[in-house]
């Protein structure tokens, strides 16, 4: 007969150890993210304020990478450009009915670049999407409307610059109504969102 070891708190020792390991990894990556935010250079006052708000949130919330944190959470997304650097890949969000860059929840994963890569691959079907650089490309804080599952909350979104071959086929996820490689000069026709136009300006610089 196998007898599970029980901690002083009444939980199996293996579960306590697993929780401790996850918490330790998350704490390490909170430090990594805070360090990356510290050296990141915002392009304007609005982005500077959002970088400050994100840093404060990460410092205060040990569960900042968890979707279950109701007030908000850190998310990861990707500004995907083609190899010629004149198109970006946008997805038409099924629920929000707007065009956005690929991205989504960390679901506890504290490596936000990995989150951005995973979301880009899942939402576009592109297996070979990779970072242009591994440093932060953009930071945005925005409100997500309430729905049947979640109250209104904030996304502290960390964006990375990725690249992919525009000739590869795209595969839509269930979250999207459409996917499109959009020429840079036509992006404003798809979205007037301030953060998307800010990323476009950075891509054109």
Identify the pLDDT of residue 186. 98
Residues of the chain with confidence (pLDDT) below 50:
1-9, 11, 13-20
Cβ contact 123:83 at 8 Å? no
Does residue 97 belong to any structural domain of this protein? yes
- Neighbouring residues of 20: CB distance < 8 A, sequence distance ≥ 6: none
Q: Is residue 175 part of a domain?
A: yes
pTM summary value: 0.85
**Residue 127 within a domain:** yes
- Is 49 part of a structural domain of the chain? yes
Q: How many domains does the chain have?
A: 1
Whole-angstrom distance, CA of residue 167 vs CA of residue 138: 26
For residue 83, tell me if it sits in a domain. yes
Distance of CA 204 to the CA centre of its chain: 22
Residue 117, in any domain of the structure:
yes
pLDDT for res 181: 98
5: in domain: no
Give the pLDDT confidence score for residue 26 in this predicted structure: 60
Would you tell me the crossing angle of helices 13-39 and 45-60 to the nearest 10 degrees?
160
Q: What is the CATH number of the domain that holds 171?
A: 3.90.79.10
The 10s digit of each residue's pLDDT in 84-141 is 999 999 999 888 889 999 999 999 999 999 999 999 999 999 999 999 999 999 999 9
Range of the domain at 76: 13-204
Please indicate, yes or no, if residue 141 is contained in any of the structural domains: yes
Residue 92: strand, helix, or coil: strand
């Amino acid at each position: 007969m196998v007898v599970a070891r029980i901690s002083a708190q009444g939980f199996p020792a293996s579960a306590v150890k697993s929780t401790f390991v996850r918490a330790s990894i998350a704490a390490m990556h909170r430090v990594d993210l805070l360090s990356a935010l510290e050296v990141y250079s915002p392009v304007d006052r609005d982005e500077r304020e959002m970088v400050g708000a994100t840093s404060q949130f990460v410092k205060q919330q040990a569960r900042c990478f968890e979707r279950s944190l109701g007030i908000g959470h850190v998310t990861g997304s990707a500004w995907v450009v083609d190899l010629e650097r004149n198109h970006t890949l946008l997805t038409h969000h099924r629920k929000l009915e707007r065009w956005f860059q690929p991205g989504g929840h960390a679901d506890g994963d504290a490596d936000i670049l990995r989150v951005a890569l995973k979301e880009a691959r899942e939402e576009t079907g592109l297996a070979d999407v990779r970072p242009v650089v591994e440093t932060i490309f953009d930071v945005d804080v925005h409100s997500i409307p309430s729905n049947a599952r979640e109250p209104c909350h904030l996304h502290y979104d960390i964006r990375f610059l990725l690249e992919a071959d525009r000739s590869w086929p795209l595969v839509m996820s269930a979250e999207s109504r459409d996917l499109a490689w959009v020429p840079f000069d036509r992006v404003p026709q798809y979205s007037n969102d301030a953060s998307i136009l800010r990323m476009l300006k950075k891509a054109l610089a």
